[in-house]
Every structure is written in C-alpha cells, then in structure tokens.
Amino acid sequence: MARQGRRLIEDYLPIQDVSAEASREKSVRKGHISTLHLWWARRPLVACRAAIYAALVPADAFGGPVTILPPPDDPSEAAKIKEDFGRLNRRGRAGEFIKDLCKYPGDPRKIEEAQQHILIAHALKLSAETGKEVTVEDIIKGKAPRPRVADIFAGGGSIPLEALRLGCEAYALDLNPVAYIIELCTLVYPQKYGRPDPDAKGCAKDGTWAGLAAEVRHWGEWVLSCLSLWRWRCSGSAPLGRVGTEQGQG
C-alpha cells in the first residue's frame, strides 16, 4: 500500500469555532436527530462532520502559491519563511472552510463542496494504491469504491450519519438494542422508505406509500386524534386499544 500524506486532522482544526457551534447545536430541539430518542452519549453533528472531513482530506488540500516580497538574501531563510507562510496560509483557508461547513444544519453548497474534496482525495489515494488512474467520476458511477467510515460504538449514530452526508459508505455497530433501533431509524429507514413508492400501500390519496415523513406525520396525527377521543369518552379510565377496536381499526 502506498504511503499516504498527513491528513488535515493531523495538521489543523479550528477547534474553538467547531466547539462553539457544537454548543449552539445542543440547544436545537426541533428537527434535530436528538429528538428521535434520548441518547446520553450523543455526539454533536457538527463536531462529527469536522472530524470526518478532516480525517479524509489531505493537510495540503488548501495549499497555494506564496510570494515573499522582498525576498531574503539567504536562500535557506527564504525557503523557511515561504514554508512557514505557506502553512499559515493553508491553515487559514482550511479553517475558514471548516467553519462554514460545520454550521448546523449545514449549507448544502458547502456540503457538496466537501463531498467533492473527499472524493478527489480518495481518487488520488486509490490511484496510488492500485497503480491505475482512478477518477472522481469512476467513484460516482460505482466503478471504484467510495471512502468507508466504520463506527463500532455508534450509539446515537452521529458519526455514520455525517459520514453518509459527506458521501461516504458508512458502517455502524452497537450491542445496545436501543442504539441499534435508533441507528435503523436514523441511517437505514430514511434511505429505504424515504421516497414515495407507487407499489407499496400507504396514506397517499391513491392508497400508495407517500414517503416516510408523510407516513409518520399521518399516523402520528391519527394516534393523537385517538388519544383525544379516548380522553373525551372515557375520562382516562379505559385502555387505549379499545378506541381502535370501536373504530374498526383494531
């Protein structure tokens, strides 16, 4: 296997900015993954996004030419100054991009740009390992594998979710059955059942599957209506299942 250069996570991350955004994210309660189910060790999505991106992109991805005016007389001193300024310039560009990328919920344009960075780095890595040229187009078309991210203690699923968001192939494992169900609802079901399906039964007007979000909303409203009817009829003294039976639903 060809030796790979340093990753961005080994060189520089704007920790203070990412931490501030992660703290702000924790106060979000509507539409956030944390509202699916309480998980006591959930990782902030923006922190996971920053770590995954920086682990897959080379440290020199944001490099650029550096001009020193006026140049020193000593060539070795000029080379050292140029290297130092180049590193600062690279870190500044990387820091600005990561700060923009790791805003909750995230700018789709920045996420798409980050996906492109990751695929370019992965294509170069595959080319070096195989000795054959691999392009980003090869990866997109499935002719070459996507970068793979595995989380063997996935818990609430923040890391694999962000890996999927960044265009990677994600693997999530956890022995806790509650975590496993959370991961199914977070990572698997939205991809498997998210879109409308004319071949499956559902709540759409024509009786077909309306898509996961619409189905959950429809049946959630049905449950709430049953609860209201139950409380009105029985004053809380009858089991909930009896309402469904009376309406021909049980």
Nearest to 56 by CA among 104, 108, 101, 107: 101
Alpha-carbon span 11 to 230, nearest angstrom: 60
Alpha-carbon span 125 to 214, nearest angstrom: 41
Alpha-carbon span 193 to 189, nearest angstrom: 5
Nearest to 8 by CA among 47, 43, 60: 60
The per-residue pLDDT for range 145-154, each reduced to its tens digit, is 999 999 999 9
| pLDDT score, position 133 | 95
The per-residue pLDDT for range 85-142, each reduced to its tens digit, is 445 567 888 889 999 999 999 999 999 999 999 999 999 999 999 999 999 999 999 9
Alpha-carbon span 64 to 74, nearest angstrom: 23
Q: Which residue has the higher pLDDT, 246 or 151?
A: 151
Is residue 44 predicted with pLDDT exceeding 70? Answer: yes
The gap from C-alpha 170 to its chain's centroid, in whole angstroms, comes to: 10
